A and B are shown apart, each in its own frame.
Chain A
Amino acid sequence: MMKHLRLNRHLTERLGFVGLTLMALVTVAPIVAVVIYILAQGVPAISWEFLTGLPRDGMRAGGILPAIVGTFYLTIGTAIFSVPLGIAAAIYLSEYAPENSLTRLIRIAIINLAGIPSVVYGLFGMGLFVLFLKFGTSILAASLTLSIMTLPVIISTAEEALRAVPQSFRTVSISLGGTRWQGIQRIVLPQALPGILTGVILGLERAAGETAPILFTGAAFFLPRLPNSPFDATMALPYHLFVISTQVPEMPPQIQYGTALVLMAFVLGMNLIATTIRSRARARRQW
């Protein structure tokens, strides 16, 4: 009787573990499949002309340079606004903020910023930057919109990195006659830098891949030249992929897959850089 029960228990456990393993595999397998498939289909499309040329024949031929450059500009523009602001906010939360209801409100606000649908950011960016501040549909307006969307990612990862720096470093710095800021500037920030950098890149990675927030704030359907000021609209890789896969009839699949590959490489490349920085810093850490 006992023995029977035990056997049964172990059988359940065995079956359960197999089931969970299968679930994990079913979750991960499509990711691998997607990446490999896009690689396989997209690589033949990649050529010098594709990467450096302007689109021709209603985007059915030629290259995607304006979209590549546009995404690059948007990412840089997003970084300019969101990185300093996000890091400063993280410093406030980790180093200065008292435990009170105002701080709790800030935290709730950050959680909410992280949860607002991307298309709502698009509406907001259009209302504030495009129309109210009259920036027009432009790189500037789109970058600002993406910055606010990226902010919560940067703040929360940077705060985590700052908090991971041992409290004792701050105490020692103060006991040696340092001000709070001197300790942050000379010890805490340098030590947290790899973690902060990882968060920044992950945040910007999201911004680079987003379409909805730039739909009405800065993305151009078709613009066969490079933007030459922050007040120009621009093509962008994710929007371009959307356009050529839904809006243009008789699109050669090669160009679609090529564009998808370039976008994926751009985004996953950033992801790879971020994870490399993180694992290296962990191995090298002095505490």
Chain B
Amino acid sequence: MTDKIVIEALSLTYSDGVESLRNISMGVRENAVTVLFGPAGGGKSTLLRCLNRLNDLTEIRASAGRILIDGENILDPKTDVIALRRKVGMVFARPVVLPMSIRQNLTYGLELAGEKRKSRLDEAVERSLKLAAIWDEIKDRLDDPAIALSGGQQQRVCLARVLALQPEIILLDEPTSGLDPISTGKVEAALLELKKEYTVILVPHSVQQAARAADFAAFFLQGELVEYGEGKSIFTMPKEKRTEDYVTGRFG
């Protein structure tokens, strides 16, 4: 097994002076679920947003370090961010379906990339909906407005929308925070399937979810990477006191 992503001494400060990441170094394994967890404001989401350069939209005062994906530094100004974002897909905390039909939501990314062939688009719709484990539920109403779906269905459509682009890495930022337990279970089940083919990085919405899903886990506290290792060991016998306190529920 190799590291798909290598983060080297990454630091980042937002323009309002908040230091969000402090000297983070870690490798992210291919075909595994890596969980970034910790209390709010720890820098997890910021790190995710660095991985597909979505942080370009935010005002940043200073950043240092490198992020290598397949050996290439994506923080380099010469990086083709459009291609990067197709390769590194993202699912957000709140399901954001675009104001169009389910089908159009799924083909949106491909159409942006210039794909016009209907057969290719239809194929992608079916394949990605199956991967996101929602095909059977909605295959008969693909032309309905996506907003009419339930929250859990919307979130899986959002996941499918990312998968339609055939990315290599999938970032999930608390993807189940607004969902009921049943929908959460469905999304988590889909993730387990996905890691066979993709590199998955998940910011969970609870420690329990972190423990359930993690092959590898990284504990973030106030911009610092406190502990990083195999999921099993971190949640059962953490090395650091601070990790233990958090995992056992003493704070956070």
Q: Give A residues with C-beta under 8 Å from B.
A: 166, 168-169, 171-179, 182, 186-187, 191, 286-287
Contacts and interface: CB of A to CB of B under 8 A. Distances in A.
Contact of B108 (A171, A176, A287): A176
Given A176-B162, A177-B82, A178-B82, 7 more contacts: A169-B99, A172-B96, A173-B112, A174-B54, A177-B86, A179-B82, A286-B147
Contacts of B1: none
* Chain B interface, >50% SS class: helix
14 contacts: A172-B96, A172-B98, A173-B112, A174-B85, A176-B85, A176-B165, A177-B83, A177-B109, A178-B108, A178-B109, A186-B108, A187-B98, A286-B99, A287-B147
Contact of A168 (B83, B96, B109, B145): B96
Given A169-B99, A286-B147, A175 B94 contact: no
A178 B109 CA distance: 7
A256 to B, nearest CB: 49
Interface of B: 52, 54, 57, 82-83, 85-86, 89-90, 92, 94, 96, 98-99, 108-109, 112-113, 145, 147, 158, 161-162, 165
A175 B90 contact: yes
A175 B99 contact: no
Contact of B52 (A173, A175, A179, A182): A175
Contact of A286 (B108, B109, B113, B145): B145
B92 A177 contact: no
A182 to B, nearest CB: 5
A113 B9 CA distance: 51
Contacts of B86: 176-177
B85 A171 contact: no
B96 to A, nearest CB: 4
Nearest to A187: B98
A176 B109 CA distance: 5
Contacts of B162: 176
A191 B147 CA distance: 14
B89 A175 contact: yes
A278 to B, nearest CB: 18
Given A168-B92, A287-B147, A178 B112 contact: yes
In this complex, the member of A168, A171, A175, A186 whose beta carbon has the largest number of chain B beta carbons within 10 angstroms is A175
Closest 10 CB pairs of A and B: A176-B109, A177-B86, A286-B99, A168-B96, A177-B85, A178-B112, A175-B90, A286-B147, A172-B96, A177-B82
A177 B99 contact: no
Contacts of B109: 176-178
B94 A168 contact: yes
Given A168-B94, A176-B109, A177-B109, A191 B165 contact: no
B57 A174 contact: yes
Contacts of A174: 54, 57, 85
Given A168-B96, A169-B98, A169-B99, A177 B54 contact: no
